[in-house]
Structure 1
Amino acid sequence: MARHRIFSTAVASVYPHYVAKAERKGRSRREVDEVICWLTGYDEAGLADVIARQVDLETFFAQAPRVNPNAALITGVICGYRVEEIEDPLMQQIRWMDKLVDEVARGKKMTSILRSGTPGAPAGTSSPPPSD
């Protein structure tokens, strides 16, 4: 089976489109960076580095410091596909990133986008249940 051409596309090729989409809707590059870093574990310097080096999406995800364990909570439709039903792990990760950027552009709250349980809690965490 032929590999999908998106796998060899440079992150630097899609990143400006993500930022433009968010900015058209009044959101910022910082918010796009935040969701990408949340998903992949890259920090801002690491993200800037892979963009500058023209790293392809396959390598970007293969070398990601840590795909967020809460990424599996990302659901919905992007490009006509339900992200939770995509079987190819790399394609699913790419579509997760698309979905997160889409949610930023649609104006969702960051706590919702980052699948956090409590406003102000670190991304990917939730508050412990109250003790009796």
Structure 2
Amino acid sequence: MPTALNRRSLSSLAVTAAAAALLAGGATAANAVPAAGGATAQHRACHVHALSDGRGAEVCRTWTPHGDGTYYGTWQVDRADANVIAQGRFDGKVRNLGVQGSYSRVKDFVTRACDSSGKRCSSWA
């Protein structure tokens, strides 16, 4: 999805599409995704969210455009330190994330890590 930061990997198709788009006019990897044959490509990104005390969580997510400005995809919390929770913001609604899950028809999905009190959190990414 356009607001996601690609930290670990993208599909080879997305990398190829991004490189071609950058050469053709400056699009970013997150928004340059038409796949061959008119199909849409799935994107994947992982982000390590760090709190100020060094604890944190790593959240990976996928997203695929529906074609109407919304996305469907999945998330997976790959690692969370003790007393740290991962949160997701789905079109402005904040929820604690389980170990894994899915979403559909969402325009904006970002994640962060918070301490168990919810008072100290990393930035959204």
Sort the TM-score into its range (normalised by shorter chain): under 0.3
Q: Between Structure 1 and Structure 2, which shows a larger proportion of helix residues?
A: 1
Structure ranking higher on relative contact order (CA contacts 8 Å, 6+ apart): 1
Query: With structure 2 as the length reference, what TM-score do the two structures score?
Result: 0.27
Q: Between Structure 1 and Structure 2, which shows a larger proportion of strand residues?
A: 2
Query: With structure 1 as the length reference, what TM-score do the two structures score?
Result: 0.26
